[in-house]
Amino acid sequence: MLNREGRPTAPAARDLDAAAPSFTGARALEKDEPLLFEIGGLDRSGVDVEEAGDFAPRLGGLERTRAIGLPGLSEPETMRHYVRLSRMNYAIDLGIYPLGSCTMKHNPRLDEKVARLPGFADAHPLQPESTVQGALALMKELSRWLCALTGMPAIALPPKAGAHGEMCGMMAIKAAIEASGELETRTTVLAPESAHGTNPATAAALGFKVRAVPARADGTVDPGAVGEALGPDVAAIMLTNPNTCGLFERDAREIAARVRAAGGYFYGDGANFNAIVGKVRPGDLGVDAMHINLHKTFSTPHGGGGPGAGPVALSERLARFAPAPAVVETAHGLRLMEEPAGGSFGRMAAFHGQMGMFTRALAYMMSHGADGLRQASEDAVLNANYVRARLADVLSAPWGDRPCMHEALFDDAWLKGTGVTTLDFAKAMIDEGFHPMTMYFPLVVHGAMLIEPTESESRRSLDEFIGALRDLARRAKQGGAGFAEAPIHAPRRRLDETLAARRPKLRWSATPERAAAE
């Protein structure tokens, strides 16, 4: 039998009796896995050492008197536990990871190899500076590349994620406002309705009020609307470009000029830099501060909470407020300057930032070269437009008639009357072997489905993905049978996410009585 893409298919697993369980509960190599505590006994140990015998502890009465409470497992049991868990995970090394806004791209093994070089990987942040000159030189070189790519004069390396970078950039803006004596009056930050949630959250965490700027019908921000929202109370605007709808903000320069004329600052959310590296320099758009998610644009395996790095590019007027430490060149070599001259607002984090990510990012940049980085952006945009165009006749898209940047955005208008929701559709993708796209974001689009294929995907891999989505769309429109139950092949079906968020079980207890009491 051939599927619609002309490739042979096995009899669909869907047709098998999903209700017939195996003796072990496993599905072939897919095994359910209990907690470590449930496998290993507290009374067992994976190592075979003799009892210590009689000895006098010298811990001043602070020695432990009760069992430590860790489960004892043998080495093979331990290995199997983690390998089995890892098999339940989806990963960029398994298949396309089309999460919009996340830029899940292939991580070149070359970058990994470089990051593992002992001189970088084994360096300790408290080592004397004279012994880590190479690592400091790498940080300086990375800053130089980031300055060149952003067209901005200064880089702060310490922030450890995009959101942390937003915090850093906005703290620099706040410090500048304080220095000009306007902290009491400039209390508001503007953010478009389509903004990533971290933007208003960052502003609010720093004590600013957030004023939403509505999007115009074409999905972009209108300088006129920004003008209306501006006033002497505005500290800054936070704008993502390309925005979270996958569209380039064409009026960014005019917006910047208006904000600046009103005495405010322009924070650029650079999480979508992957679409414009080598094509547009944010500094040329009038951006004052912009974080760069090294873990998105410049590779680094991320997801599940880390690791990340969010260096911030700063304009001339913000550079002196940058956080400590900074890498500076002195007569005695490179130094991590703890007290940079001028108005540094202080520290963002312990030490100097994420060395492993710096190494990967610079390896990525240098191996691509300036022309390669530009081509990666172009390919990312091309791939997204290929997905957009090849799904245009089956899915609906709010701005589907126009080319997108690096993300293709669809809505749920096409699902109307089918009984299938965006969530059902995403869950059905899991049964087809794909990680779902980003759902219900950006909030300005109803039932949004945001697909970011990145430049990593080949034409063949995109065609397979598109073929699966087209087939799911056909099934959804033909009555949508099975969608409410999806996923049926995943190790876990639909979780009660509300319950998990409201009453998370964070502790394991040895006895059911204690568990009930907790």
Ligand X SMILES: *Cc1c(COP(=O)(O)O)cnc(C)c1O
162 binds ligand X (CB under 6 A): yes
Q: How far is the CB of 287 from ligand X (least distance, A)?
A: 14
Nearer to ligand X by Cβ, of 244 and 418: the residue is 244
143, 150, 240, 359: which one binds ligand X (CB under 6 A): 240
Question: H-helix or E-strand containing 459?
Answer: helix 459-477
269 binds ligand X (CB under 6 A): yes
Nearer to ligand X, 149 or 472 (CB): 149
From 13-21, 22-30, 158-166, 364-372, span contacting ligand X (CB under 6 A) = 158-166
Position among 92, 101, 268, 358 found at the interface with ligand X (CB under 6 A)? 101
* 200 counts as binding ligand X under rule CB under 6 A: no
Nearest to ligand X of 76, 304 (CB atom): 304
Residues 277, 364: Cα–Cα separation, whole Å? 13
Q: Nearest CA to 356 among 298, 291, 276, 280?
A: 298
In the bound complex, what is the minimum distance in angstroms from residue 289's beta carbon to ligand X?
Answer: 13
Q: State the nearest-atom distance from the C-beta of 337 to ligand X, in Å.
A: 26
Pair of tokens at residue 130: 């004279």
C-beta closer to ligand X: residue 269 or 424: 269
d(CA 108, CA 112): 7
**Contact at 8 Å (CB) between 289 and 173?**
yes
Query: Which residue's CB is nearer to ligand X, number 99 or number 136?
Result: 99
- The CB density around residue 349, as the number of other CB atoms within 10 Å, is 14
- Chain residue whose CB lies nearest ligand X: 162
Nearest-approach distance from CB 297 to ligand X, in angstroms? 10
State in angstroms the smallest separation of the CB of 312 from ligand X.
12
Q: Angle, nearest 10°, between helix axes 355-391 and 459-477?
A: 50
Applying CB under 6 A, does 163 fall inside the site for ligand X? Answer: yes
161 or 175, CB closer to ligand X?
161
Give the interface segment with ligand X, choosing from 216-224, 267-275, 477-485, 502-510 (CB under 6 A).
Answer: 267-275
Residues touching ligand X: how many (CB under 6 A)? 14
- List, in sequence order, the alpha helices (H) in 9-50: 36-39
Task: Write the Ramachandran bin of 306: left for phi over 0, alpha for psi from -120 to 50, otherwise beta.
Answer: left
Structure letter (DSSP) for residue 448: -
Q: Quick one: CA torsion of 386, 389, 390, 391, rounded to 10 degrees?
A: 120
The tokens describing 43, both together, are: 């009374």
Asked if 247 is part of the footprint of ligand X (rule: CB under 6 A), the reply reads: no
Near ligand X by CB under 6 A, which window of 49-57, 105-113, 268-276, 466-474? 268-276
Closer Cβ to ligand X, 132 or 289, answer by number: 289
Stretch that binds ligand X, among 54-62, 78-86, 121-129, 156-164 (CB under 6 A): 156-164
Q: Which range in 40-48, 161-169, 422-430, 440-448 contacts ligand X by CB under 6 A?
A: 161-169
**Interface residue with ligand X, options 308, 311, 353, 442 (CB under 6 A):** 308
Q: Work out how close the CB of 300 gets to ligand X at its nearest, in angstroms, rounded to a whole number.
A: 10
Which lies closer to ligand X via its Cβ, residue 33 or residue 407?
407
**Residue whose C-alpha is closest to residue 414's, from 431, 396, 428:** 396
| 271 contributes a contact to ligand X by CB under 6 A | yes
Q: Which residues in 340-402 belong to E strands, given as ranges?
A: none
Q: Which long-range contacts (CB under 8 A, 24 or more apart) does 460-468 make?
A: 461/95, 461/96, 462/96, 462/383, 462/386, 462/387, 463/5, 464/5, 465/96, 465/98, 465/387, 465/434, 466/387, 466/390, 466/391, 467/3, 467/4, 467/5, 468/429, 468/432, 468/433, 468/434
One residue of 150, 188, 293, 418 binding ligand X per CB under 6 A:
293
196, 352, 368, 435: residue in contact with ligand X (rule CB under 6 A) = 196
Tokens linked to 467 = 């073929």
**Location of structure tokens 């709010």:** 398
Work out how close the CB of 418 gets to ligand X at its nearest, in angstroms, rounded to a whole number: 30
Q: What single DSSP character describes residue 334?
A: E
Minimum separation from the CB atom of position 293 to ligand X (A): 5
**What is the three-class DSSP state of 450?**
strand
Q: How far apart are alpha carbons 361 and 310 in whole angstroms?
A: 11
Q: How far is the CB of 496 from ligand X (least distance, A)?
A: 25
Q: Does 244 bind ligand X (CB under 6 A)?
A: yes
161 binds ligand X (CB under 6 A): yes
| Alpha carbons 304 and 464: distance in angstroms, whole number | 26
State yes or no: residue 198 binds ligand X (CB under 6 A): yes
Distance CA 225, CA 370 (A): 36
Q: Which residues bind ligand X (CB under 6 A)?
A: 101, 161-163, 196, 198, 240, 244, 269, 271-272, 293, 308, 310
